Amino acid sequence: MKLNDYQKFVTSVTSIESKSLHNLEGRLMQLDNKVNIATLLTAGIGLSSEGGEFNEIIKKCVFQGKPLDDDTIFHLKRELGDIIWYWVNACSALDLDPNDVIKENVFKLESRYPGGEFDAYFSENRKEGDL
């Protein structure tokens, strides 16, 4: 397939909200009636960005010879702080108590791993509804 043909295909399977500011504004207004969409967008984009920055440091340590010294660990610590900042913003945007989010995560993992420990089988073979 030629890139121009692929470009036409991609355009044909792209939502109208992704192609039109007017349609995007309408969708954002609909969503803002349910959640604080501005804060949710900030959180989602921020989590991706900061997670990437965290992984960039790890990549440099593992593949490019960067020392995993106290300065690097401090840098990782600061990136984790940024990640939690955006995570808490996501909780706020969705009107969720961060403690309840953690409790739900523990419940999900306890259900996934009935023996209380990681098991590769259950990691790959999840129960119906285990997202």
For residue 73, what are the domain limits?
33-96
HSE (side-chain half, CA atoms, 13 Å) at 73: 3
80 and 122 both lie in a single domain: no
Asked whether residue 131 is domain-assigned, the answer is: yes
Residue 79 shares a structural domain with residue 106:
no
Tens digits of per-residue pLDDT, 90-104? 999 999 999 999 999
pLDDT of residue 5: 98
For residues 96 and 92, give the distance between their C-alpha atoms in angstroms, rounded to a whole number: 6
Structural domain includes residue 23:
no
Residues 80, 128, single domain; the answer is no
pLDDT tens digits, 28-71: 999 999 999 999 999 999 999 999 999 999 999 999 999 999 99
DSSP-assigned states of every residue in 4-33: HHHHHHHHHTS-HHHH-HHHHHHHHHHHHT
Does residue 103 share a domain with residue 51? Answer: no
- Indicate if the pLDDT at residue 130 is higher than 90: no
| Tally of domains in the chain | 2
